[in-house]
Structure 1
Amino acid sequence: MPRTAAEVHTDLVLEPRDVKFDWSRLPLHWIPDEPFATHTINVLHLLLPEGERWFTEVFKDALPLITDEQLREEVLGFIGQEAIHAEAHQEVLDHLLGQGLDPRPYVRQIAWLFQRILGPKPHLSPRQRRENIIERVAFVAAIEHFTAFLGNWALNSPGLERAKADPTMLDLLRWHGAEEVEHRSVAFDLLVHLDRGYGRRIRGMVLGGPLLVHLWVRGVRYLLAADPELRGRLKPSWRQAWDGAQRGMLPDPIQSLRSGLRYFKVRYHPTQEGSSAQALGYLATSPAARAAAAR
């Protein structure tokens, strides 16, 4: 008898996959003739290295607060996967720099945000430190909702093939997306373990959701302005974002908003987003993941 979706998810064992990608042949506009769509997705490479390193630090701080052994193992698996995600996207940033697009000024701002504004606060009492950790976990849970949404989109985006997107980049997006779907409930379950209150969960989304949109818009503007081939000739617009979504090259802004609103439901759980079976199916066929398993 086939296993149910809940059984597949419950039986998951999160393991880091030490993937490697060869970026030597990646063109600057890896979706041919689509610089706006290319750079809209490239914002991932700007945000994720620092963001996911911050995720891992938050979860390491939370480990002493966990009293459920299964959840502890899931958190450790999450930490391992996120660390590899950060390094994979960092390699793309290094490749962009080699192509004449310098991401470092924007990345320095992101590092300042995560390290100084959202980082741990010194001189807190034990009770205050615990509250600070849980508050940051709530922020991670909200952002992980969107990374799972984006991962599910990447796994179901034939428009990228139609646009002849670079296959190595497509594998990166789908490998990462599959792992985001695979571990989509860990941050939320950790938050509920530490604080079952609805208010903290919602505060994380109210703060995290708009901040993510703001950073993404700024990232697109930065990449288009810094692109040495465009030389500032292409200006971003919501019309271009909508057009890219209609052609399947970008996530649909309306669907993104609806996904965010689902987080506010009292009975929400991340398992309602995406399919663990589909994620595992892609990971079984991903060239990078298969090569990692063979090493």
Structure 2
Amino acid sequence: MNAKVDLLTTLKASFPVRRMDFEFKNVLKYWVNGDPCSTHMFSAMSVMFPDGERYFVDSVRAVRDMITDDPQLQKDISAFIGQEAMHAKEHHSFHLNAEVHGLDPESLERFTFNLLDKATKLIIRNGKQQRLAVTCALEHFTGTIAAQLMRREDIQNMMQDETMKHLWLWHSVEENEHKAVAYDVYEKIYGTGPAAYLNRVVIMAIAITLIIAVKFGFLTTLMYRDGQLTNFSSWKKGLSLFWGREGFFTQIIPETWDYFRPNFHPWQHNTHDLLNKYRAKLGMTN
């Protein structure tokens, strides 16, 4: 017993929890390339984070007591929870400050919460395994998006507000630091057999369909609220940036699709070099 306590005391998580406090009061209205659609595309992702991150935390917390023989994973779960809580806090803070532009992004946060709650109850029956599988699926999607942003310096250079660029790159680093935690928890508890595989890929198919539909709905809502719904040149610019031949989302389709392989694991997409590069660039010393 003492040896076990000593091990838990001396073990450290594989990644740290960083306390952040961004100042969003002077963020430009159109901080991505001076363009409404390109900016609102990022905001359409951002409004999904606060309650999405809380959902992830709750789903992992609900099963962590089932892991009794992996103290390192327990440490990583704690750090995962800390990082996700900080992401929810900072994106929510941005949304509150963005109210000055009359777009009411906080209302879209509430829609995300209601969607997750209803989808969990109606589609996946609210089971712990299903909720964790939702987290695994969406963590893969967000981790893939985060890695893509770290690769796409051209898009970073379009971010004309340094606070927002720092927010997204910090978030991207941490999403890749903890990208395998929920997945490792899922495999540790439910295994890798046919039933576990079928559960996670069916839920991924549902989740990816819903998330694309919701993102486009949020984008359309923000463009409408901004009086830009008929700004077709902005629509063309934003949709090309994300869904064109070299688009941000277009390029991650193969990596996203890898999730459906039976032997998939998040770290098969090695982002260690990207992590080292951006931890140094952002001055993350731990």
Fold shared, TM-score > 0.5 on shorter chain: yes
Any residues of structure 2 matched to 1:207-246 within 5 Å, and which?
207-227=206-226, 230-234=227-231, 240-244=238-242
TM-score by length of 1: 0.82
Q: 2:252 aligns with which of 226, 249, 256?
A: 256
Unaligned runs of 5+ in 2: 1-11
Measure, in 2, the Cα distance between the counterparts of 1:99 and 1:75.
37
Displacement of 1:97 after TM fit?
Answer: 0.8
Displacement of 1:119 after TM fit?
Answer: 6.5
Structure 2 counterpart of 1:182, one-letter code = E
Displacement of 1:160 after TM fit?
Answer: 2.5
Any residues of structure 2 matched to 1:10-49 within 5 Å, and which?
13-49=14-50
CA 238–136 in structure 1, closer or farther in 2 if over 3 Å, else same: farther
Secondary structure at the residue paired with 1:105? helix
Structure 1 residue 107 corresponds to structure 2 residue 102? no
Over the aligned positions, Cα root-mean-square deviation in angstroms equals: 2.7
Measure, in 2, the Cα distance between the counterparts of 1:84 and 1:18.
7
Secondary structure at the residue paired with 2:29? coil
Displacement of 1:218 after TM fit?
Answer: 0.9
Displacement of 1:238 after TM fit?
Answer: 7.5
CA 85–177 in structure 1, closer or farther in 2 if over 3 Å, else same: same
Displacement of 1:114 after TM fit?
Answer: 2.4
Partner of 1:179 in structure 2?
174
Structure 1 counterpart of 2:239, one-letter code = A
8 A Cα contact 1:149 1:274, kept in partner? no
Displacement of 1:84 after TM fit?
Answer: 0.2
Structure 2 counterpart of 1:48, one-letter code = F
8 A Cα contact 2:38 2:237, kept in partner? no
Identical-pair percentage? 25
Secondary structure at the residue paired with 2:260? coil
TM-score by length of 2: 0.84
Structure 2 counterpart of 1:84, one-letter code = M
8 A Cα contact 1:182 1:280, kept in partner? no
8 A Cα contact 2:220 2:229, kept in partner? no
Measure, in 2, the Cα distance between the counterparts of 1:101 and 1:17.
29
Q: 2:75 aligns with which of 60, 73, 80?
A: 73
* 1:36-55 superposed Cα distances (whole Å, 9 cap, x missing partner): 11111111221000100111
Measure, in 2, the Cα distance between the counterparts of 1:187 and 1:107.
23
Measure, in 2, the Cα distance between the counterparts of 1:247 and 1:176.
26
Measure, in 1, the Cα distance between the counterparts of 2:249 and 2:228.
28
Secondary structure at the residue paired with 2:47? helix
CA 238–186 in structure 1, closer or farther in 2 if over 3 Å, else same: farther
Displacement of 1:274 after TM fit?
Answer: 4.3
Q: 1:88 aligns with which of 74, 87, 90?
A: 90
Any residues of structure 2 matched to 1:131-150 within 5 Å, and which?
132-150=127-145
Which of 184-193 and 195-204 deviates more?
195-204
CA 213–15 in structure 1, closer or farther in 2 if over 3 Å, else same: same
Measure, in 2, the Cα distance between the counterparts of 1:12 and 1:69.
10
8 A Cα contact 1:242 1:252, kept in partner? no
Displacement of 1:201 after TM fit?
Answer: 1.8
Measure, in 2, the Cα distance between the counterparts of 1:247 and 1:20.
37
8 A Cα contact 1:181 1:274, kept in partner? no
Which of 19-28 and 232-241 deviates more?
232-241
Measure, in 1, the Cα distance between the counterparts of 2:276 and 2:13.
9
CA 19–284 in structure 1, closer or farther in 2 if over 3 Å, else same: farther
CA 277–51 in structure 1, closer or farther in 2 if over 3 Å, else same: same
CA 164–266 in structure 1, closer or farther in 2 if over 3 Å, else same: closer
* 1:73-115 superposed Cα distances (whole Å, 9 cap, x missing partner): 1111111100000001001110111222112332222111223
Displacement of 1:190 after TM fit?
Answer: 0.9
Structure 1 counterpart of 2:202, one-letter code = R
Secondary structure at the residue paired with 1:14? coil
* 1:253-289 superposed Cα distances (whole Å, 9 cap, x missing partner): 2x232122111112211012241242143123316x5
8 A Cα contact 1:209 1:260, kept in partner? no
Q: 2:263 aligns with which of 257, 267, 277?
A: 267
Secondary structure at the residue paired with 1:31? coil
Partner of 1:276 in structure 2?
272
8 A Cα contact 1:39 1:220, kept in partner? yes
Displacement of 1:35 after TM fit?
Answer: 1.3
The count of residues paired between Structure 1 and Structure 2 equals: 268
